Amino acid sequence: MKLTEMGITEKKENKEQETLSKSSEKSTIKKVISNSFLHMAIKKAIFYFVVFFIAISIAFLIPRLVSVNPLEYIYVRPPGTDPEAWQEHIKDLEEYLGLNYPLHVQYANFLKSFFFEFDLGQSMTRSFEPVVNIVLKALPYTLMLVVPVLVLGFFIGNGIGARTGYTQSKKDKVFYYIFLVLQVAPFFWMGYVLLDIFVLQLNWFPWGQSVPLWAWDWAAISTIFDHFWLPFVVLLITNIGGWATGAHALMVYEKAEDYISYGRKLGFRDNTLRKYAYRNSMLPQFTGLNLYFNGLIGATLITEIIFRFPGLGYTMIRAFQALDYALILGTFIVTILVVVIGNYIIDMSYGILDPRIRVGGKGEA
Amino acid sequence: MTKEIPYQEELGKKVGIKEIIKEKYHAAMDRYKRQFILMLVFFIVVLIIVILTLIPPFNDPEKRYWVTPDVLLDNYADPSLKHLLGTDQFGRDHLTRLFHAVRNSLAFGLITGLICTGIAVFLGVIGPFKGGAVDATASFITNIALVFPQYAFIILISTILQIREWWITMLVIALFSWPWAARSIRSQVLTLKERNFIKVSKMSALKNMRIAFTEVLPNVLPYILLAFIIFLGGAIITEAGIAMIGLGQQNWLTLGLMLNQAVEYGWIFPSFSYWLWLPPGICLMLIVLTFFIIQSSLSKTFEQRKV
């Protein structure tokens, strides 16, 4: 066993050496790193594609496994019409939407139209408007909530948490307890509390009115932002709490490391040492970014529903209330797409930030 | 060689299991006195609430109160001595409903947490021990489920299924919240597998699965406990979130269902009926905060033990 294993590894090493010797123009180390980076990028891309494929397959199957004909739900026969004629009308509609085929044909059609034409079908309740148009209108609203909350929450939360964890003074302890409470405060409940105070009691913000489409126009933008502040603040507050408590705990460990006490004995300033500790303690937080991102997407969907902010979540719940299956599926697929692309970007940026991951992507080389 | 002498002496000492437990208990009590007190207070409060829901003034959450017999419903009453937390839209005592909701929420979290832990332990332990294709599929499923957006799936399934049964909400939450625990348990098992006592038990020709469940599992137990507590808090809060926007189950009176009814009935129409939404939210926060503190102090102990 051992001999054969050793033989295999030797062969591998030989191959690597050959490839290394071929690339003689640039410095070999740089070449290896870029190769392994590319390797990781492709590997991750394939993985996320598989995830996406499985997710949309499940999302396709679930509504069809439920034995309800959506068309009969939506198009209730008006009184005084001929029942047979109405049945024919519904059958025509089924043919038009491609719902009369067996399941596997429907699935193949769905995949074909999605991957080659980016067509998600037509909304049954919004006068057969293509779902893609509706979803693309809703997507900017969701992104304008998710991206600033993700970036601002990460930096503000970690900054504050690292500070409270490093100094551990009494003033900072008060801050820490505030964030501990904020971290466990359910965001949906906070949303309703803020809504009650600022909309219903103080009447500072509009709520439940139609939000205009994105346009480079002062009136439209100011109306959008009037609707935007409350959900943004709710999401930001709850996210800052989570990051801050995590960074606090990490910083407490980091402060006990030897290099900090050595640096202090050498006479470094406290601020400088804190920066070093901050940088080292950030890496584990970065690995948690994926899970946080998934949670944040879900929180954003629910917050949109609460504040009637017309993003993906609100579109989804409206589609649900109208039983518009194509629209539910469409919003869901775009949500998955956002999650998958976001995760991919986070993974890749982590690979850029931490060189160890890049080399690790090649297998234990 | 000189280093081995104290080790030898320690071997020679008679150490019974009772003494070990006593020592560990005192060490834990010294360090985590506040957490123990918190846990004790929490359990006593929960116990009192559970007992209160069984005895007369609080045992019926559906009982309606009337101002004049059967004519004028005593609904949206302000908090007073008769109704400590006021009444809701149907004239039901809110404090009674709150007790029942806390009990049901905890029960919901307990069952969901058990299901989650079961899945996580099964996938985390079976992979490294079966090896080969089983391991590959188990870790593949875990990795894929890790990036699945939990909330989006929960919203999708609970919108489409259209059935408001408690077990559906429970299954949906349980199915999408186990992956991170499966991964961490798997990594723990992988490190344990290289330890000597596992090798010895392999040499003594025990079956793989028996080693996994009698030798490895007891050593991963603290991590399983930690995962279970996190699942418990998470399940309670997720259920409340789903229920509050009206997609959750409707047959158990949980904190989320109470918040949902507060939103639908008692929030816009009578001006500022704070007693309907404030107490359930605070209860939710207190429950989750308790679990979070227990969880974080537990994880601190394990970190220190590793170092």
Q: Calculate the CA A81 to chain-centre distance.
A: 48
- Pick among B146, B159, B263 to test the A interface (most A CBs inside 10 A): B159
Whole-model pTM: value is: 0.79
For the record, the structure tokens of A246 come out as 């995590």
Q: Which residues in chain A have Cβ-Cβ distances shorter than 8 Å to B288?
A: 184, 186
Q: What Cα–Cα distance (Å) separates residue A357 from each residue in A106, A254, A294, A309, A340?
A: 42, 21, 22, 39, 20
Write down the pLDDT at residue A363: 39
Which residues are CB-neighbours of B46 under 8 A, at least 6 positions away?
Answer: B102, B103, B106
Q: Do B245 and A305 touch (CB under 8 A)?
A: yes
Q: Do B292 and A50 touch (CB under 8 A)?
A: no
Dihedral over Cα of A8, A14, A16, A19: its sign? negative
Which residues are CB-neighbours of B197 under 8 A, at least 6 positions away?
Answer: B215
Write down the pLDDT at residue B110: 93
B157, B161, B241 member nearest A186 (Cβ): B241
Q: Which range among A12-26, B33-47, B230-244 shows the weakest confidence by mean pLDDT?
A: A12-26
Cβ proximity of B120 and B178 under 8 Å: yes
ipTM score here?
Answer: 0.77
Dihedral over Cα of A242, A248, A254, A256: its sign? negative
Q: What is the DSSP string of B102-154?
A: HHHHHHHHHHHHHHHHHHHHHHHHHHHHH-HHHHHHHHHHHHHHHHS-HHHHH
Q: Do B281 and A189 touch (CB under 8 A)?
A: yes
B149 reaches A (C-beta below 8 A): yes
For the record, the structure tokens of B260 come out as 């949902």
Cβ proximity of A150 and A296 under 8 Å: yes
Q: What Cα–Cα distance (Å) separates residue A173 from each residue in A163, A245, A257, B286?
A: 10, 11, 21, 19
The 10s digit of each residue's pLDDT in B7-21 is 545 555 566 777 777
A74 reaches B (C-beta below 8 A): no
Q: Do B245 and A291 touch (CB under 8 A)?
A: no
* Amino acid in the structure at residue B52: L
The rounded distance, in Å, linking the Cα atoms of B32 and B295 is: 12
B31–chain A nearest CA distance, Å? 17
Average pLDDT score over residue span A208-229: 79
Largest CA distance in chain B: 92
The segment with the largest mean pLDDT, out of A76-80, B116-120, B151-155, is B116-120
The rounded distance, in Å, linking the Cα atoms of B260 and A228 is: 23
The 10s digit of each residue's pLDDT in A134-193 is 888 888 889 989 999 998 998 898 888 888 888 877 888 888 888 888 888 888 888 888
Query: HSE of A157 in the Cβ direction (CA atoms, 13 Å)?
Result: 30
B155, B292, B303 member nearest A184 (Cβ): B292
The rounded distance, in Å, linking the Cα atoms of A234 and A220 is: 23
Write down the pLDDT at residue B154: 77
Cβ proximity of A128 and A122 under 8 Å: yes
Write down the pLDDT at residue A6: 45
The rounded distance, in Å, linking the Cα atoms of A318 and B127 is: 42
Which candidate, B236, B149, B295, places its Cα nearest to that of A299? B149
Average pLDDT score over residue span B227-252: 86
Average pLDDT of chain B, as a whole number: 80
DSSP element (H, E) containing B68: strand B66-68
> For A325, which DSSP code?
H
The rounded distance, in Å, linking the Cα atoms of B265 and B269 is: 7
The 10s digit of each residue's pLDDT in A266-287 is 888 888 888 888 887 877 787 7
| pLDDT over 70, % of chain B | 89
Average pLDDT of chain A, as a whole number: 78
Cβ proximity of A247 and A281 under 8 Å: yes
> For B284, which DSSP code?
H
Whether the predicted pLDDT of A200 surpasses 60: yes
Closest residue in chain B to residue A317, using alpha carbons only: B159
Q: Do B151 and A302 touch (CB under 8 A)?
A: yes
Q: Which residues in chain A have Cβ-Cβ distances shorter than 8 Å to B147?
A: 48, 51, 290, 294, 339-340, 343
Average pLDDT score over residue span A204-218: 76
* Amino acid in the structure at residue A191: G
Whether the predicted pLDDT of B134 surpasses 80: yes
| pLDDT over 70, % of chain A | 84
Closest residue in chain A to residue B291, using alpha carbons only: A184
A139 reaches B (C-beta below 8 A): no
- For A220, the 3-state DSSP assignment is helix
Which candidate, B117, B125, B119, B122, places its Cα nearest to that of B189? B125
Cβ proximity of B180 and B88 under 8 Å: no
Q: Name the H helices within A168-287.
A: 170-184, 187-194, 218-255, 258-266, 270-287
